[in-house]
Structure 1
Amino acid sequence: MPLKIGSMIFAAVGSILVVAGCHWGCRTAAPPLAVVPGVDLSRYAGKWYEIAKYPNRFQRGCVGATAEYSLSSDGKRVDVVNRCRDTGSGKERSVRGKARVVDPATNAKLSVTFFWPFSGDYWILALGEEYEYAVVGTPDRKYLWFLARTETIGDDLYGRLVDLARARGFDPARIERSTR
């Protein structure tokens, strides 16, 4: 058990270092990334299922990923719990973090910290009218997730999300459907 927790912490810290390093050192010439005009964080709160993503190190060996968001009691931050199932052991893995809004005009740009002092961008690029789906990415376009309130979405919606990601400068060839 201590080895598994140590491995998870090592992987999470390593991932955050990669994100943080690229945030400061890997700027590309991509045009600015547009976000949704406004997010009601109380409606955004709750459980989301990962539908697709850009593969990344910190989710390697992880299936059935979910994210749960809840507003802190003071309303100034969002508490985060990410969960998945380890493909080797079948056991649940989880990590807790905190997000803070960095663009109060829209609430669509957040900074998430899982291990202080490292943080990563979390930008909401698209959001269903009923908050039934979301597209989340980073301004450097290195990370991308499709999230939904249900475990699956239809092919039509999936295709629209891929098209949206392409239009925002993400490479659709890198998008991989998530395994439940």
Structure 2
Amino acid sequence: MRRLGFLLGLCLVALLSGCATGGGDTLAPKTAGPVDLKRYQGKWYELARLPMYFQRDCAQSEAHYNAKPDGTLGVLNRCRMLDGEWIRAEGNARPQEAGHTDKLWVEFDNWFTRLAPGVARGEYWVLYVDSRYRTAIVGSPDRKYLWILSRTPSLPAWERENLLAKARQQGYDTNRLIWRVSDRDIAARH
């Protein structure tokens, strides 16, 4: 049942974020500029996120990206529940506009997207990625969704604060962030 809720939530978020923004929003956040998708691929830990329905029970989340020869990314999102169970969703990401790799459409592979292709897709804007591709900030242009990502499951406080400052400068409410639960805390609940 949790898996169904996770997948339905991903569809809903994708659908709503795809419809929520207009093309001429001059107040939209600034993106990172060209993103090297080959360097971006791999495993990212979600350190923090804004609250959203489809991740409501996730204690830990990961995103795995795989650059494809056609310029798209394969996407595998994993969510670990407090009981230790992992659920997953797979999809694809592609540039919203050819040659602009900082603004992507993400579409998950499920019954809804197969029923209505191209309708349930979400906007995935890379707002920041450091020069070593070790940390990133991703959000939606309507500022409803935000993820702070890292190649490691934790960061030093100074680096975390630097990422939070960047997100605040873009107009995101970082006071509402939900932080990754540690492995130790999950193990203590069993």
Identity, in percent, stands at 32
Q: For 2:169, give the aligned amino acid.
A: A
Q: Secondary structure at the match of 1:121?
A: strand
Question: How many pairs are equivalent?
Answer: 174
- What residue is the counterpart of 1:11 in the other structure? 9
From 106, 110, 119, the equivalent of 1:112 is 106
Unaligned runs of 5+ in 2: 114-118, 183-190
Q: Please say if residues 30 and 169 of structure 1, whose CA atoms lie closer than 8 Å, have aligned partners that are also in contact.
A: no
Is it true that 1:75 corresponds to 2:70 in the alignment? yes
Is it true that 1:84 corresponds to 2:47 in the alignment? no
**Structure 2 vs 1, CA of residues 95 and 37 (structure 1 numbering), >3 Å: closer, same or farther?**
same
Give the C-alpha shift of residue 17 in structure 1. Answer: 3.4
Q: Secondary structure at the match of 1:37?
A: coil
- What residue is the counterpart of 1:132 in the other structure? 134
Give the C-alpha shift of residue 169 in structure 1. Answer: 0.9
Unaligned runs of 5+ in 1: none
Q: For 1:86, give the aligned amino acid.
A: M
**Structure 2 vs 1, CA of residues 5 and 64 (structure 1 numbering), >3 Å: closer, same or farther?**
closer
- TM-score scaled to structure 1, two decimals? 0.87
- TM-score scaled to structure 2, two decimals? 0.82
Q: Deviations over 1:120-163 (max 9, x none)?
A: 00001111110000000011111000000011011101111111
Q: Deviations over 1:91-136 (max 9, x none)?
A: 1100001100124444111000014230000001111110000000
The correspondence of residues 1-180 of structure 1 with structure 2, limited to 5 A, is 3-23=1-21, 31-72=27-68, 74-87=69-82, 89-114=83-108, 115=110, 116=113, 117-180=119-182
Runs of 4+ in 1 over 4 A off after TM superposition: none
- What residue is the counterpart of 2:186 in the other structure? none
Give the C-alpha shift of residue 58 in structure 1. Answer: 0.8
Give the aligned CA root-mean-square deviation in angstroms. Answer: 2.1
